Amino acid sequence: MSTLKELEKLLTRGKISRRDFITRVSALGLMAAVSPALLSGTAKAAGPKKGGRFIIGITGGSTTDSMDPGTLTSNMNQNVNWQIRNCLVEIDHNFNAIPELAESWGSTSDAKVWTFKLRKGIEFHNGKTMTAEDVIFSIKHHLGEKSKSAAKGYLKSIENIKADGKHEVIFELSGGSADFPFILGDYHLTICPAGTEGPEWEKGMGTGGYILEQWEPGVRAFSKRNPNYWKEGRAHFDEIETLSITDTNARTNALKTGRIHYMDRVELKTVHLLKKMPGINVSAITGTAHYTIPMRLDQSPYGDSNVRMALKLAVNREELVKQILRGYGEPGN
């Protein structure tokens, strides 16, 4: 059962409605402990104004980009993919696995067999209802000898996928995996209609909040809000225009002049200047990007765990965060 603190977090993040929050808290007998400011503040923030065109200036982007989920290699096609498609599982801002196209899941005691129950009534942009067949097709797209998907490696434990009716998918693994739901939240593993192949991928068919209208790889994407989107409190803009602007200075100038409304990969050495500009908000959000020191264990001296530990201890990670990332980061583990 959720605690009051957990429910307050869900409410402030928009994961549950104000009405649902009151219902759940009342069931716990905790309404007297809820701050009136929390409810009134959330009520004001719970109804963002819908409409308008949101213009994104994003790094990356190449003329070889594709909307095939297995070949998402740039920031641009990854961003567009999230606009138009969903996964079985969503990873929230606190890195929790929460239901998306799957409404629930569970496993055997050894975590070798996982069963995912699908939401009913979810439609693709073409009106086709999503079923277990689409889920199985979408995951198998990344498997097999000919697959070039970047997700192939961390799906190798899947020995079999089968349907139990139209709304239940069973994954049989070669070994126990307590983190399997997190894997299915990876951005490559969005669900597409069964049978999609070749040029059909570029149409960007999905279940997401936006419908892809125009797609110029490495240049521009244009999408419109899905009027039948199933998620509450999402997809607020009427339209989204995504522009590939690889040069950081060009992106920054486009933001300053109002040509775009959002940019990624802000230059760390100039972020303090952007913060001072009226009308510009800089958001620092914890993500999963990280730096590592890969070592070949089959080559000397890196096969020696003492050498690897020495290299780890030789790096002052806190100082790297302070001096190189200018405070926009934290030691990973």
Residue 127 covered by a domain: yes
Per-residue pLDDT, 7: 65
Q: What is the pTM of this model?
A: 0.80
Per-residue pLDDT, 170: 99
Domain interval for residue 254: 48-76+212-283
Max mean pLDDT range (71-75, 83-87, 148-152, 274-278): 83-87
Instruction: Indicate if the pLDDT at residue 165 is higher than 70.
Output: yes
Whole-number Å distance between alpha carbons of 158 and 135: 14
Domain count, the chain: 4
Degrees, nearest 5: CA angle 201-206-211: 95
Q: 222 with 258, same domain?
A: yes
Looking at residues 162-169, what average pLDDT do you find? 98
Q: 32 with 69, same domain?
A: no
Beta pairing, strands 239-244 & 210-216 = unpaired
For residue 123, the 8-state DSSP code is B
Residues in the chain: 333
Q: 163 with 119, same domain?
A: yes
Q: What is the CATH number for 232?
A: 3.40.190.10
Per-residue pLDDT, 169: 99
Looking at residues 187-202, what average pLDDT do you find? 97
Per-residue pLDDT, 42: 47
Q: 17 with 53, same domain?
A: no
> pLDDT tens digit string along 223-245?
999 999 999 989 999 999 999 99
Residue 323 covered by a domain: yes
Looking at residues 23-51, what average pLDDT do you find? 57
Phi and psi at residue 304, to the nearest 5°: -85, 120
Q: 26 with 107, same domain?
A: no
Instruction: Indicate if the pLDDT at residue 22 is higher than 70.
Output: no
Looking at residues 256-272, what average pLDDT do you find? 92
Looking at residues 69-82, what average pLDDT do you find? 95
Inter-residue contact 97 to 104 (CB < 8 Å): no
Q: How far is CA 28 from CA 2, 18, 25, 279, in A?
A: 9, 15, 5, 42
Inter-residue contact 59 to 77 (CB < 8 Å): no
Residue 305 covered by a domain: yes
- Run of H or E residues at 45: helix 36-45
- Establish whether the linkage from the previous residue to 99 is cis, with ω within 30° of 0: no
Q: What amino acid is encoded at 73 in this protein?
A: T
Average pLDDT, the chain: 89
Instruction: Indicate if the pLDDT at residue 2 is higher than 80.
Output: no
Per-residue pLDDT, 156: 93
> pLDDT tens digit string along 96-126?
999 999 999 999 999 999 999 999 999 999 9
The closest alpha carbon to 84, from 196, 262, 261, 239, belongs to: 239
Q: What is the dihedral of CA 136, 172, 99, 82, to 10 degrees?
A: -50
Q: Is 38 exposed, middle or buried (0-12, 13-18, 19+ CB in 10 A)?
A: middle
Degrees, nearest 5: CA angle 68-74-78: 60
Residue 269 covered by a domain: yes
Whole-number Å distance between alpha carbons of 92 and 86: 13
Q: 58 with 128, same domain?
A: no
Q: 92 with 197, same domain?
A: yes
Q: 115 with 145, same domain?
A: yes
- Which residue has tokens 């960007």? 204
Q: Is 268 helix (H, G, I), strand (E, B) or coil?
A: coil
Q: 61 with 138, same domain?
A: no
Last residue within a domain, chosen from 263, 283, 303: 283
Residue 61 covered by a domain: yes
Residue 22 covered by a domain: yes
Looking at residues 200-215, what average pLDDT do you find? 98
Last residue within a domain, chosen from 145, 171, 201: 201
Q: How far is CA 129 from CA 212, 240, 257, in A?
A: 18, 25, 43
- pLDDT grade, residue 31 (50/70/90)? very low
Residue 206 covered by a domain: no
Residue 81 covered by a domain: no
Per-residue pLDDT, 3: 64
Please state which of the ranges 29-38, 185-194, 212-221 shows the lowest mean pLDDT.
29-38
Q: 254 with 150, same domain?
A: no
Per-residue pLDDT, 43: 45
DSSP 236-265: --SEEEEEE---HHHHHHHHHHTS-SEESS
Q: 225 with 328, same domain?
A: no
Q: 180 with 119, same domain?
A: yes
- pLDDT grade, residue 286 (50/70/90)? confident
